[in-house]
Amino acid sequence: MYQWLLVRKYLASKIMPLLASVAVLLCAAMVLVIWSVMGGFLDQLIRTGRTMTGDVTITWPNVGFAHYDDLIKRLEADPMVAAAAPMIDTYALLSLPNGRTEMVLLKGVEGESYGRVTAFRDIIWWKPVPEPVAKDAGREDPRLDPNLADDLARYHENGLRLSRTEPGAEPEPAVVMGIEVSGFNRRSEFGFYRPGVFEVREPDGTSRTSDDFMPRNGSVVVSVLPIDHQGRALEQATRRLPIANEFHSGVYEFDSKVVLVRLDVLQRMLRMDAAKRIAPGASTTDAGGGETFATGDAAPTLVDDPARVTSVVVRAKADLSELGASTPLRRRVEAIYDEFAADHPGEAPGLYDVSIMTWEDQNRTMIAAVQKETGLVLFLFSLVSLVAVFLVLAIFWSMIAEKTRDIGVLRAIGASAPGVAGVWVLYGAMIGVVGAILGGVAAWGIVENINPIHEWMGRAMGIKIWDPRIYYFTTIPTTLTWGKAAVVMVGGVLSSVVGAIVPAWRAARMTPVNALRFE
């Protein structure tokens, strides 16, 4: 085909079409990078949405519900369910070793069962690691230090059990904090953390610099507000707890706000443990806000109050990471809970009182927002990419003016009008192919190195585009798939072809004699 010969020659000898290729390259790379980041953001949201909550969560906040062991037994007997675990969610004040006080989300969990339902075991940070994180070519991660391996192994074990065990001593209940909660850990550009020094205020008003490592000898003071059966706040409970370990989920919101504590400890602090308590309804509040008992001077009736939790988290046997996949499990959990509530009248809220939500339900607003934003941003940048169409059109228009006499020669030696148009359409397609392939390669390079590039921009130019406090995740997430790359690259080729069509039509309309006489 003579069109191929001409296109090959034109590609090798002309500078201007290369500019069109660069335009296609930039547009394809731009759209692909944006799609990869937005898609990565959504994928990360979906992945991490289940990191600390499992697939389905049954919640009755504040007061909580009893007989959760029975509920968990019923759930785990179902063929769809892999595991279920009890949990208490409450807000707490956390006093850090440097005197700073933070409002955090305190989660009471059993390390073992919580680890079966969520990714808890995987996200504990301070543990020996065999290989450095991807970008840590210099192996600077302190977790790689063989001298710390034994201590790190002990801290890891402590984290899993939510306890701190000192040699020769009984295990002591402890907390596992998000790695960003204390503010003492310094994140390196390669993605690992180094424990940092911090200022400690002494009671006499002086301060000293401490280089304490939280899982070794750090502790925090936790204050929570228990609530009775009638929803009234009771006296604040405060307890100093050592730090067993820290976790890194990759979700900044979790890593900076969540603290895990042993379930039994939090139950006692919130008076949700099993105990003999005054019968609910035996007391009333008088006009002055004080508590009085209807029985006058007689002692209040004590009843066995079973232990309670605010949530039960459920993990499915099947992988439910796809959007919409967890709905059947929710329906099954609802059915199981309905039977459970019917068997515990007055002690467990009814099906329509509790909240039973999938991980997707809990993150629905965010997922929908990101999906819509992805579509909108892609649409807008695709519009911007129309620049490539007009650039190809302008360049080809100019080239066809330059090549008018050659077109006349081709017509004179027998080329048909569609054949001549085909030269330019094919030429446009080839420019698109070159631009789209190079754009795909450029996008791959950018996406693969987007976090180092971002960190370099921050260091060299002071530009910080991705703020984890705003964007949820600590690093820029990306997902580049062959499917996305193919769509964008085909789009790049098509835009180039579209840009070439009008000039090609102009070339085809030239009569041979007019083209030959063109001055």
Residues in contact with other proteins by the rule CB under 8 A: 1-2, 5-6, 9-10, 12-13, 405-406, 408-417, 419, 511-513, 516
Per the CB < 8 A criterion, the answer to whether 39 and 479 are in contact is: yes
Contact 382, 363 (CB under 8 A): no
The minimum distance between CB 475 and other proteins, in angstroms, equals: 49
Strands 175-178 and 237-247: parallel
In this complex, which beta carbon is closest to other proteins, that of residue 469 or of residue 509? Answer: 509
Q: Is 259 exposed, middle or buried (0-12, 13-18, 19+ CB in 10 A)?
A: buried
List all residues 6 or more positions away from 416 whose beta carbon is below 8 Å from its beta carbon. none
Q: Which is nearer to other proteins, 140 or 406 (CB)?
A: 406
C-alpha angle with apex 150: 144 to 156, nearest 5 degrees?
80
Q: Give the separation between CA 374 and CA 361, rounded to whole angstroms.
A: 19
* Rounded Cα gap, residues 25 and 46, in angstroms: 31
Residue placing its CB nearer to other proteins in the complex, 152 or 410 = 410
DSSP helix/strand/coil, 188: coil
Q: Does an H or E element contain 172, and which?
A: strand 172-173
The least distance separating other proteins from the CB of residue 414, rounded to whole angstroms, comes to 2
* DSSP 8-state secondary structure symbol assigned to residue 146: G
Residue 415 CB, shortest distance to other proteins, in Å, is: 5
**By three-state DSSP, how is residue 98 classified?**
coil
Nearer to other proteins, 170 or 519 (CB): 519
Spatial contact of 109 and 90, defined as CB atoms under 8 Å apart: no
Cβ contacts of residue 169 below 8 Å, gap of 6+?
A: none
Minimum CB distance to other proteins smaller for 10 or for 359: 10
Task: Work out how close the CB of 433 gets to other proteins at its nearest, in angstroms, rounded to a whole number.
Answer: 19
Q: Given the complex with other proteins, which of 357 and 415 has the nearer CB atom?
A: 415
Q: 77-113: string of b/e by CB count within 10 Å (b at 16+)?
A: ebebbbbbbbbbbbebbbbbbeeeebebbbbbbbbeb
Least Cβ distance, residue 9 to other proteins (angstroms): 4
State how far the Cα of 177 lies from the Cα of 161, in Å rounded to an integer: 13
Q: How far is the CB of 374 from other proteins (least distance, A)?
A: 44
Least gap, CB of 498 to other proteins (angstroms): 25
Helix (H), strand (E), coil (C) string for 489-500: HHHHHHHHHHHH
342 vs 401, beta carbon nearer other proteins:
401
Smallest distance, Å, CB 380 to other proteins? 39
User: CA-CA distance, 380 to 480, in Å (whole number)?
Assistant: 19
| Residue 34: CB minimum distance to other proteins, A | 38
Distance CA 22, CA 391 (A): 10
Q: How far is the CB of 417 from other proteins (least distance, A)?
A: 7
Query: Under DSSP, is residue 228 helix (H, G, I), strand (E, B) or coil?
Result: coil
Name the minimum Å distance from CB 470 to other proteins. 54
In terms of Cα–Cα distance, which of 177, 206, 213 is closest to 99? 206
Q: Which is nearer to other proteins, 333 or 420 (CB)?
A: 420
Nearest distance, CB of residue 408 and other proteins, angstroms? 7
Cβ-based nearer residue to other proteins, 306 or 419? 419
The least CB distance from residue 20 to other proteins, in Å, is 17
Question: CA–CA distance from 429 to each of 2, 3, 383, 392, 494 (Å)?
Answer: 16, 12, 20, 10, 7
- Looking at the Cβ atoms of 381 and 518, the one nearer to other proteins is 518
Q: Which of 167, 414 has the CB closer to other proteins?
A: 414
Number of residues that this document lists for the chain: 519
Q: Which helix (H) or strand (E) holds 155?
A: helix 149-161
Q: Which residues contact 483 (CB under 8 A, 6 or more apart)?
A: none
For residues 405 and 459, which CB has a smaller minimum distance to other proteins in the complex?
A: 405
d(CA 176, CA 118): 15
When the beta carbons of 7 and 33 are compared against other proteins, the nearer one is 7
Helix axes 16-49, 364-384, angle to 10 degrees: 180
